[in-house]
Amino acid sequence: MKKAIRLLTVLVGVGLLVTMVGCPKRQVIVEPEPYVEPEPEPEPEPEPIKLELGTVYFEFDRSDIRTGDAATLEGHARLVKSAAEQGTRPTIVIEGHCCPIGTAAYNMALGMRRAESVKTFLVRLGVSEGQLSTISYGEEQLVTNDANRYELNRRAEFKVQATK
């Protein structure tokens, strides 16, 4: 029986020793994350120039630029060239319009002559021809149907479509 107690004591002692000391622990190596430099915030882009180009008017059955409207077009050319200097190249559609006097076919052709006349004038002032396109609406988009105010229909309007 003494042998059994001794054996039991030895076994309990070895059990306690194994429990307390235990197996060697695995070492966990934590590698630090590499330093990543934060990306600099992009500089805000300059706000694009908003081109608000006023309407140019024509005399009855004419497509030549009037003196007062020449000054308006000179201002338009300055704006468009200034936008180009700032890195934006607006694409501008010049729309030719007419009053309802005459046939639809004649007014469509007159509207195109008016739009082309404005385009030629702007190109002579230094605006890139590639930025300008023309279209005629003839008498399709009237401002007024009042015969006493038909001069408001004889016009060229500008639509800024995009900037590059």
pLDDT (average), residues 47-59: 81
- Torsion angles phi and psi, residue 129, rounded to 5: -60, -30
**Quick one: pLDDT at residue 16?**
66
pLDDT (average), residues 117-143: 94
**Quick one: pLDDT at residue 83?**
84
Name the 3-class secondary structure at 80. helix
Point out the least confidently predicted range of 20-29, 54-63, 74-83, 130-139.
20-29
How many domains is the chain partitioned into structurally? 1
In a domain, residue 64? The reply is: yes
Q: Which long-range contacts (CB under 8 A, 24 or more apart) does 62-66 make?
A: 63/110, 63/113, 63/114, 63/116, 63/117, 64/117, 65/117, 65/118, 65/121
In a domain, residue 23? The reply is: no
- Tokens 């200034």 belong to residue: 82
Average pLDDT, the chain: 85
In a domain, residue 17? The reply is: no
In a domain, residue 36? The reply is: no
DSSP assignment of 116-143 equals: HHHHHHHHHTT--GGGEEEEEEETSS-S
pLDDT (average), residues 104-115: 96
pLDDT grade for 11, boundaries at 50, 70 and 90: confident
Tell me the β-bridge partners of 95. Answer: 135, 157
In a domain, residue 50? The reply is: no
In a domain, residue 108? The reply is: yes
**3-state DSSP percent of the chain in helix, strand and coil, to 5:** 40, 15, 45
**Quick one: pLDDT at residue 20?**
63
CATH code for the domain in which residue 85 is found: 3.30.1330.60
**Quick one: pLDDT at residue 85?**
82
In a domain, residue 42? The reply is: no
Q: What is the pTM of this model?
A: 0.68
In a domain, residue 51? The reply is: no
Amino acid letter at 120? T
CA atoms within 13 A on the CB side of 57: 10
> What is the domain range of residue 71?
56-161
